[in-house]
Amino acid sequence: MSEKILKALMQLFAIIARQDVGLSSRERDFVEGFLKQQLSEIAVSEYLNLFDDYVAHDGKSSEEKDRTEVKLTSVKDSVKTLGIAKKINRTLTQKQKVVVIVRLLELINSDKNFTPQRMAIIDTTAEVFNISRQEYKAISCFVIRDKSEELDIPEILISQSHTTSNINAHFIHTPYLDGKIIILRVQSVDLYFVKYTGKSELFINGLPLKTNRIYNFATGSVIKQPTGKPVFYTDVAAKFISDTAETNIFFKVENVDYTFSNGVKGLENINLFESSGKMVAIMGSSGSGKTTLLNVLSGIENPSNGKVIINNTNLHSEKKKVKEIIGYIPQDDLLIEELTVYENLYYSAMLVFRDQKPSHIADKVDNILTSLGLFQIKDLKVGNLMNKKISGGQRKRLNIGLELIREPSVLFVDEPTSGLSSRDSENVMELLRELTLRGKLIFVVIHQPSSEIFKMFDKVIILDEGGVQIYYGNPVEASIYFKKIDNQINSDVGECPKCGNVNPESIFNIIESQIVDEYGKSTGTRKVQPYEWAKHFESFFKPEAIKKSIPKLPETFVKQGWFRQASIYFRRDLNSKLSNKQYILLNFLEAPVLAFLLAYIIRYINDPESGVYIFRENANIMPYMFICTIVALFTGMIVSAEEIFKDRKILRRESFLNLSRSSYLLSKMSILFMISAIQALLFIWVGNNVLGIKGMYFEYWIIFFSVSALANVIGLNISSAFNSAVTIYIIIPFLIIPQMVLTGAMFSFDRINYNLGGGREKVPLIAEIMPSRWAFEALVVNQFINNDYEKYFFDLRKLESNLNFKNVYYIPELKGYIETYKSKLHAEEQNPISDKDIQLLQNEILKENNSFLAQYHQITFENTELIKPESFNHQTAKEILVYLNKLESFYRENFNKINQQIDRQISEMVNSPEKRNKYQQWYDQHYNSHLATFVKNTYAPLPLIRLGNTLVQKIDPIYLNPTSRHLLDFRTHFLAPNKNLAGRPIPTFYFNLAILWLFSVLAYIALYYDLLKKFLLLFKKREVTIQTSKKQK
């Protein structure tokens, strides 16, 4: 009892005791006795003194009071009472107030002094406390009356050895009991009080039960008597509730079989029928199929034969309708280790009740915590099995709590008591028992229960090896059944009457007893085989006739609230991550530390004597960009690889709630994206700064982030599809190494296997599916084109390059074909020019006619149709030569023009020493010459190559605008400055970025539909069919 109540009680006791004749010694004894029951010696005297002080407040002794003064004082006292009562009203809960009333009544009952003043005071108090008239009457009746006839109200339960004639009061028969146990139920606050009128030695929760004393009868309490059945709280509560509850769930299992994917039989011909308000045990030796049965009954697995029907709805074929009313509590923990007890429940509740206000839910959670006895530890972190913060029993209760919030009508529990002490086990089972009182149907797989627990079940199903049903019925009768079959003695006696024990172990001993040889040793073979037990049972079992008509399933309707779901997932995940300090530290230090190491190592000075770092001369910038993409991939995948895998049990449980997968996935992705974004920022900020890459932070950041984000989604895919953490981590290199190879940084696309697309005009197809390649290209192209220096000159340089290429390489090459033709013709050779070469000329001239520059030079070759093997002759060659020469002079002149223009612009910038220094600095800080060499492919073995019947430019790819043959032709050569889409040029950076996000979207779709998992299952199925076909052979 809290200090507050005690003080209040002392005050009230004092006021009441003062009334009329004042404090009597009996009353004082009562107060003392009352205090002694609750407190230690020191506290008792403390409060007793307090009481005495309150009583002596007036200063007058009881004898000196005369009639009128009594009246006055009673008025004064009434006012005081009112005041105290109001004060108490504010500070105590309703439950506590009821307790106060009960104690007050108990006080005046101690010397049976029911003066009107006293009654009036208590009356007033009760009114102020908002206790209903009816309840107040019931309470006073309970406290004051003793006789059965006087206690015939529905709020009372009497337990005695002989029946009563009461109509309204409830009754529990307790043979051999002396006197009566009287129990009061205060429905509004769900409190029970007990008093005993007899002389037997009774114990309530281990403490002796004194006669005519009123005790709190709390949840899980037990009143034990020396002989006879104990009185359980649940039995009592059941009595009060059972008549009011409605049966609305009818659960039928018809001839259910289940075969595993490898052909082994899991369950055989299971039949049962249950309705709400019952608790059914599923028992059997290891491997008899208990968990399988649970899985089939709950809908997780589909039976190979037979049906599971809930209120006329087939569970497996119409899962969606039925999912909401089913709850499943697996044996393993489903708790989120990093969150507290409260948080675990809270988030779960938020997901279940997603259309309610958070404040309502908070209240609900507090209630459940209290009923689970976890309120005191609600702010403790759950921890994991290695690092326990709360005990095993508490964990189990929390697990149950997670499911309880939903209040599913049918609950399946897998081994709730495994690993728990007997006290904890009893607590847990009491909890479950309580649920049945509220109308739930509960199936519990349990192994080696104690006798107490065994007796709590309404029915028990016993399975034997191979999933055969060998018993279904009342637990106590099970013992009789098996003993009968075994022809044992005492088979008529189900349980020991005096000790109240039934031994489930003995049942299993009978079932599994083995044949003993002549020396008394067991032979290893069973006396009775499983199928024999099953046959016995079949002949014994008579299915219950269904009496009532079966109503339809209650409609469950929950608003979708997608955003809310997503935000709940988001907050849960975020909190979980934030509370793990190690995780945060590692994740967010990883990026900048790596970046620093990397950048610092590769930051070198070309000319050691100068001692000055020059960005332009650092040959490691292009490799840095490559490493950036790989690091982004790697960190993205590592962060996400275990995410879904860790959540899988929780997801399984939540699959019963109609939660949207997309909200779960997107919220997960949001968190991962946030992490990726921060990591990207840190990495780029450190790396770029150390290396002196100026500006363009946003571009680097967004590419790093996009790659990381994509890797996140891919990681989630893996996480969702694979069964073990190890497999996941093994997969990761397989995903990253090909990307490293095919980025175009380590190995040029011109120097990889031709059969895989190397050495062609466009990027090899296999590299097109590598995100690293898109990212790297975007970074490189962006860095070259958009750096502060180059962007002044890029367009001019591009034009200059195009013109130069045509002038120096392209036109001379074409002219070469003509020259060769001419000289061969002159030498009167048979075949002066091959058909292929003619085809090439035609292709190229057509290209030239339609090229971008054609609109400027307007030199066209008219008769391209004549460039065919049939019509190619000396005249054609001459015309082509003229055409080519015209082109050549156009290109030459304009090249000179542009070249001089650029030169002029630069000269302007360096025509004074200060300007020159500025220019030099600008140039040194923004332009990187090695990167330039890379993007211009300066070291290409050949500037121009022939592929089939076309010529392909290999030099200066960064300056080459790609041509597209049709609207959807977006593939280009590597390092193109733009890509074409629907005829419009789009800068490579943005195009590649879009592609990366497209990959992410595709990966998300694969994730949502679990495509990877299904793909893997295909293999498994194939394996199985191969194996079974092998077996058949």
Give the shortest CB-894-to-other proteins separation in angstroms.
5
Which residues make beta-bridge pairs with 951?
A: 946
Contacting residues for 768 by C-beta, under 8 A, at least 6 apart:
971
Residue closer to other proteins by CB (options 43, 906) is 906
Q: Which is nearer to other proteins, 212 or 376 (CB)?
A: 376
Beta bridge pairs of residue 979: 986
Between helices 94-110 and 25-38, what is the axis angle to 10°? Answer: 140
Stretch that binds other proteins, among 245-253, 257-265, 442-450, 911-919 (CB under 8 A): 911-919
Smallest distance, other proteins to C-beta of residue 319, A: 31
Q: Is 670 in the site for other proteins (CB under 8 A)?
A: yes
- Measured CA to CA, the distance from residue 522 to residue 636 in angstroms comes to 60
DSSP 807: I
Strand partners, 232: 222
Q: Work out how close the CB of 301 gets to other proteins at its nearest, in angstroms, rounded to a whole number.
A: 36
Binding mask 970-1009 vs other proteins (x if CB under 8 A, - otherwise)?
Answer: --------x-----xxxx--x-------------------
In 10 A of CB 510, how many CB atoms?
18
Q: How far apart are CA 836 and CA 834, in angstroms?
A: 5
Decide: 1000 and 633 in contact? Cβ < 8 Å: no
CA distance linking residue 115 with residue 107, whole number of Å: 12
**CA 155 to CA 192: how far, in whole Å?**
10
Gap between the Cα atoms of 562 and 137, Å rounded: 50
Which residue's CB is nearer to other proteins, number 240 or number 891?
A: 891
Report in angstroms how near the CB of residue 181 gets to other proteins at its nearest: 40
Q: What pairs with residue 308 in β-bridges?
A: 253
Question: Measured from the CB of residue 813, what is the shortest distance to other proteins in angstroms?
Answer: 12
Name the token pair of 949.
């019947």
Q: Radius of gyration of the chain from Cα atoms?
A: 44
Within 565-624, the residues that bind other proteins by CB under 8 A are 566-567, 570-571, 574, 607
What is the C-alpha to C-alpha distance for residues 547 and 530, in angstroms, rounded to an integer?
A: 32
Q: Is 894 in the site for other proteins (CB under 8 A)?
A: yes
Binders of other proteins among residues 350 to 389 (CB under 8 A) are: 358, 362
d(CA 660, CA 1004): 14
Closest CB to other proteins among residues 132, 823: 823
809 part of the interface to other proteins, by CB under 8 A: yes
> Counting contacts by CB under 8 A, is residue 304 touching other proteins?
no
Collapsed DSSP state (helix, strand, coil) of residue 499: coil
Residues 747-806 close enough to bind other proteins by CB under 8 A: 795-796, 798-800, 804
Report in angstroms how near the CB of residue 761 gets to other proteins at its nearest. Answer: 21
589 vs 674, beta carbon nearer other proteins: 674
486 DSSP assignment? T
Q: Does 897 bind other proteins (CB under 8 A)?
A: yes
Nearer to other proteins, 49 or 560 (CB): 560
Q: How far, in Å, CA of 323 to CA of 303, rounded?
A: 16
What sign has the CA pseudo-torsion 272, 649, 409, 426?
A: positive
User: In the range 713-742, which residues lie near other proteins by CB under 8 A?
Assistant: none
CA 227 to each of CA 171, 205, 211, 654, 920: distance values in angstroms, whole numbers, following the listed order: 19, 16, 18, 47, 105
**Nearest distance in Å: CB 206, other proteins:** 35
Q: Give the C-alpha separation, 353 to 596, whole Å.
A: 47
- Mark residues 556-575: x for contact with other proteins by CB under 8 A, - for none: -------x--xx--xx--x-
Residue 190 near other proteins by CB under 8 A:
no
Please identify, using beta-carbon distances, which residue of 230 and 985 lies nearer to other proteins. Answer: 985
Segment lying near other proteins (by CB under 8 A), choices 89-97, 200-208, 228-236, 910-918: 910-918
**Smallest gap from residue 938 Cβ to other proteins (A):** 7
Q: How far apart are CA 391 and CA 38, in angstroms?
A: 28
Element (H, E) at 424: helix 422-437
Q: Does 898 bind other proteins (CB under 8 A)?
A: yes
Partners of 645 in beta bridges: none
* Stretch binding other proteins (CB under 8 A), from 166-174, 399-407, 687-695, 908-916: 908-916
> Which runs of consecutive H residues, i.e. helices, occur in 830-912?
835-849, 854-857, 874-909
Q: Which one among 82, 119, 741, 906 touches other proteins, defined by CB under 8 A?
A: 906
Which among 412-420, 475-483, 679-687, 920-928 is the span making contact with other proteins, rule CB under 8 A? Answer: 920-928
Selected binder of other proteins within 823, 871, 1025, 1028 (CB under 8 A)? 823
Q: How far apart are CA 400 and CA 417, in angstroms?
A: 11
Tell me, what DSSP letter sits at residue 959? G
323 HSE (CA, 13 A, CB side): 17
* 664: contact with other proteins by CB under 8 A: no
Please report which helix (H) or strand (E) contains residue 443, including its range.
strand 441-445
Q: What is the largest CA-CA distance in the chain?
A: 155
Tokens 């809270």 found at: 346
Q: Is 827 in the site for other proteins (CB under 8 A)?
A: yes
The distance of closest approach from Cβ of residue 996 to other proteins in the complex, given in angstroms and rounded to an integer, is: 13
Taking the CA of residue 931 as centre, how many other CA atoms within 13 Å lie in the half-sphere pointing to its CB? 29
Name the residue nearer to other proteins (CB basis): 513 or 610.
Answer: 610
Q: Is 285 in the site for other proteins (CB under 8 A)?
A: no
Which tokens is 494 given? 């189900």
Q: Does 896 bind other proteins (CB under 8 A)?
A: yes
Q: Which is nearer to other proteins, 295 or 340 (CB)?
A: 340
Q: Lay out the site mask for other proteins across 72-111 (x = CB under 8 A, - = otherwise).
A: ----------------------------------------
Instruction: Name which of 697 and 919 has its Cβ closer to other proteins.
Output: 919
Q: What is the C-alpha to C-alpha distance for residues 533 and 537, in angstroms, rounded to an integer?
A: 6
> CB 904 → other proteins: shortest distance, Å?
9
Q: How far apart are CA 585 and CA 568, in angstroms?
A: 24
Q: Which is nearer to other proteins, 210 or 824 (CB)?
A: 824
Candidate segments 134-142, 287-295, 465-473, 915-923, binder of other proteins by CB under 8 A: 915-923
- Minimum CB separation from other proteins for residue 885, in Å? 13
Structure tokens, 50: 């307090």
Contact 459, 283 (CB under 8 A): no
CB-nearer residue toward other proteins: 48 or 808: 808
Q: How far is the CB of 260 from other proteins (least distance, A)?
A: 43
For residue 856, state whether it binds other proteins (rule: CB under 8 A).
Answer: yes
In the DSSP assignment, the letter for residue 907 is H
CB closer to other proteins, 72 vs 1001: 1001
How many of the chain's residues bind other proteins (CB under 8 A)? 54
> What does the DSSP 8-state code read for residue 751?
G
Residue 189 in the binding site for other proteins (CB under 8 A): no
Handedness of CA 852, 854, 857, 858 (dihedral sign): negative
Give me the residues that bind other proteins (CB under 8 A), please.
358, 362, 563, 566-567, 570-571, 574, 607, 670, 674, 795-796, 798-800, 804, 807-809, 823, 827, 853, 856-857, 892-901, 903, 906-907, 909-911, 916, 919-920, 923-924, 938, 943, 978, 984-987, 990
